[in-house]
Chains A and B, each alone.
Chain A
């Protein structure tokens, strides 16, 4: 069963716009929330991660927002570029256990 629900399934954004991908989790024992980026023909690669004691983490144009009470976290991509077109996965790790992944969001950034 999927413990991490990700939306939307696909997203189309114009160049320069903001891309927002949302995830919700069910298990309050999750203690680590990463986002992975996957290009066609490649394996997923860690993009950015956050711990539940932090409400926001920013790395360049990528920001994770975390709402512990709502059990939700989201990825914001500012000034989206065509090179950001990829599939994005959120994930969550139960305490010291194995990662649970969302179903993925295919992002297309149009020039």
Chain B
């Protein structure tokens, strides 16, 4: 999607290994979000950021950490991947909190 890029698009990793997903935006939007998408659960918020070095937890933050050292980059880290973290991860950006989200194309993560 224009203005927002997620990498990698696909990843297979082993249980217990650390994994970092990257979200990069060119829109200079203040707010950035990480969601996971699972069948029957829709999109659930993991962490969000409202500025450089300003982050907060969402509803499913256990096992995840984030960092935002630059406006354009928001990293999601799984400290020690577990099979329950197998999911599709989406990054979103917005200029206003909670409105006008633009989503990336997602990262499909499989933990084996």
Contacts and interface: CB of A to CB of B under 8 A. Distances in A.
Could you tell me the dominant secondary structure of chain A's interface residues?
A: loop
Contact of A89 (B33, B43, B58): B43
Interface in B62-104: 90, 92, 97-104
B104 A97 contact: no
B99 A93 contact: yes
Interface in A37-73: 41-46
Contacts, number: 58
Contacts of B44: 101
Interface residues of B, number: 24
B45 interface: yes
Chain A interface bracket (under 10, 10 to 19, 20 to 34, 35 or more): 20 to 34
Given A1-B59, A42-B1, A96-B97, 13 more contacts: A2-B41, A2-B42, A32-B98, A36-B101, A42-B105, A43-B103, A43-B106, A44-B101, A45-B1, A98-B33, A98-B45, A99-B101, A101-B35
